[in-house]
């Protein structure tokens, strides 16, 4: 008999990483965690050189089409360019942060140093290597953009959120990282084989109690992806763009690779920051990145579909491109999926276009 105090680990964590590659129908699939989403254009180009590149709904990068055994070369390359600082913790470095924090004057704190501190502290804590690969931290600077993305533990300004619910706890920036790590430890102590805090019975309340809080209402925030040019407080310019269906093409990489500060965002987009002016906007548009809010690609997403996923009933990406191309942006986000799993669907209100044996149905 398993004691209720003894977590059982019957299910292996199959979440892909760099060292644990998922065998997809189109080859190996590796996920590269990018805490906060920020990297240099040169680092982005280094990842792109390893295979087809996608931006995920957590602001990470995904490499597709790897040949058998290619993960060894991928890991070596990523280590060389500083994108694989830990082998033990590589799959738990799931941190989303407000992309424009500290740059555009919004928000009540600068989440950039907190992102760095959280990543370092996470990787330095051996016990936290046991976190599931799906466990997500969010650092929202108070503007309400990433706090609504379904993170397990988050700060929203001073508030600590647990699976989207207010824990009642309030923290200063200096206290934020220790409290988030304590929340992650509390989840590990409470879980049996759940992957997410929201899957754990009464999970937010149990973790809040361990932290000295008392869980309250769900916090409802819905952030918008940065699209177009934004003036930074230091006089530089940042430009946000949606990546059509989250797939970065060689043309996209060619333009982005020369930039010093690139962010992959959880809305399957990119932000290029610290630019002298908005001149790059035309170059991004010329290669097909969506720099206007009216573009359909600012609101349309799709799962891998055929041929990348053997479960898919259709080539949902080709069908989504054909359907939405040239049309205005949908009023509600739309997600196309090749089967009921609906991988990568948005967390907020959206329309699901689901492939069936007989075509598509809308839900
Ligand atoms: S939703 Fe279904 S078809 Fe699409 S990637 Fe997920 S498992 Fe594959």
The CA distance from 17 to 13, in Å, is 11
Would you state the pLDDT for residue 10?
53
- Read off the pLDDT of residues 86-115 as tens digits, 9 standing for 90 and up: 999 999 999 999 999 999 999 999 999 999
State the DSSP H helix or E strand holding residue 209, giving kind and residue range, or none if neither.
Answer: helix 203-211
Beta strand spans in the chain (E): 22-24, 27-32, 38-39, 52-55, 61-66, 95-97, 137-140, 153-156, 159-162, 165-170, 228-231, 237-242, 247-248, 262-265, 269-275, 300-302, 334-337, 351-356, 359-362
Would you state the pLDDT for residue 7?
42
* DSSP code, position 321: H
- Read off the pLDDT of residues 305-348 as tens digits, 9 standing for 90 and up: 999 899 999 999 999 999 998 888 898 999 999 999 999 888 88
Domain boundaries, the chain: 300-362
Which of 308, 312, 355, 360 for mutating ligand 1's site (highest number of atoms within 8 Å of CB)? 312
d(CA 101, ligand 1 centre) in Å: 33
Q: In terms of residues, how long is the chain?
A: 363
The CA distance from 108 to 192, in Å, is 36
Residues facing residue 64 across a β-bridge: 52
Closest ligand 1 atom to residue 339 Cα is 2
Would you state the pLDDT for residue 119?
98
3-class state of residue 54 by DSSP: strand
CA angle 109, 111, 115 (to 5 degrees): 155
- Show the tokens assigned to 103: 């740059």
Residues facing residue 62 across a β-bridge: 31, 54
| Nearest CA residue ID for atom 2, ligand 1 | 339
By percentage, how much of the chain surpasses pLDDT 70? 97
Residue range 280-285: mean pLDDT, rounded: 98
Q: 10-24, 42-56, 121-135: which range is least confident on average?
A: 10-24
Closest ligand 1 atom to residue 309 Cα is 8
Would you state the pLDDT for residue 325?
87
Which residues sit with their C-beta closer than 6 Å to ligand 1? 303-305, 309, 311-312, 337-339, 341-343
Residue range 150-172: mean pLDDT, rounded: 97
Q: What is the pTM of this model?
A: 0.93
Residue range 116-128: mean pLDDT, rounded: 98
d(CA 310, ligand 1 centre) in Å: 8
């Amino acid at each position: 008999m398993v004691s209720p105090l003894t977590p059982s680990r019957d299910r292996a964590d199959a979440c892909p990483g760099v060292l644990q590659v998922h065998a997809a129908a189109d080859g190996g699939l590796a996920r590269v965690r990018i805490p906060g989403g920020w990297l240099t254009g040169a680092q982005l180009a280094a990842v792109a050189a390893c295979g087809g590149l996608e931006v995920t709904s957590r602001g990470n990068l995904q490499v597709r089409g790897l040949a058998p055994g290619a993960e060894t070369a991928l890991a070596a390359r990523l280590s060389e360019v500083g994108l694989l600082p830990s082998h033990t913790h590589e799959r738990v470095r799931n941190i989303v942060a407000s992309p424009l924090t500290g740059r555009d004057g919004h928000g009540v704190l600068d989440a950039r140093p907190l992102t760095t501190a959280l990543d370092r502290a996470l990787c330095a804590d051996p016990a936290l290597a046991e976190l599931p690969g799906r466990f997500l931290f969010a650092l929202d600077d108070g503007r309400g953009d990433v706090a609504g993305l379904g993170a397990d533990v988050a700060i929203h300004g001073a508030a600590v959120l647990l699976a989207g619910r207010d824990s009642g706890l309030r923290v200063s920036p200096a206290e934020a990282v220790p409290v988030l790590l304590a929340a992650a430890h509390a989840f590990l102590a409470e879980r049996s084989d759940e992957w997410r805090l929201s899957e754990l019975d009464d999970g937010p309340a149990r973790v809040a109690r361990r932290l000295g809080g008392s869980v309250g209402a769900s916090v409802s925030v819905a952030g918008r992806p940065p699209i177009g040019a934004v003036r930074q407080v230091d006089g530089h310019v940042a430009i946000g763009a949606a990546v059509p269906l989250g797939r970065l093409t060689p043309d996209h990489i060619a333009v982005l690779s020369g930039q010093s500060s690139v962010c992959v965002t959880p809305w399957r987009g990119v932000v290029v920051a610290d630019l002298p002016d908005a001149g790059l906007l035309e170059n991004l548009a010329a290669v097909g990145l969506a720099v206007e809010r009216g573009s359909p690609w600012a609101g349309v997403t799709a799962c891998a579909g055929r041929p990348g996923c053997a479960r898919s009933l259709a080539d949902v990406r080709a069908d989504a491109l054909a359907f939405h191309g040239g049309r205005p942006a949908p009023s509600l986000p739309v997600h196309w999926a090749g089967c009921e799993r609906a991988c990568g669907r948005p967390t907020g209100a959206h329309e699901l276009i689901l492939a069936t044996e007989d075509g598509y149905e809308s839900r």
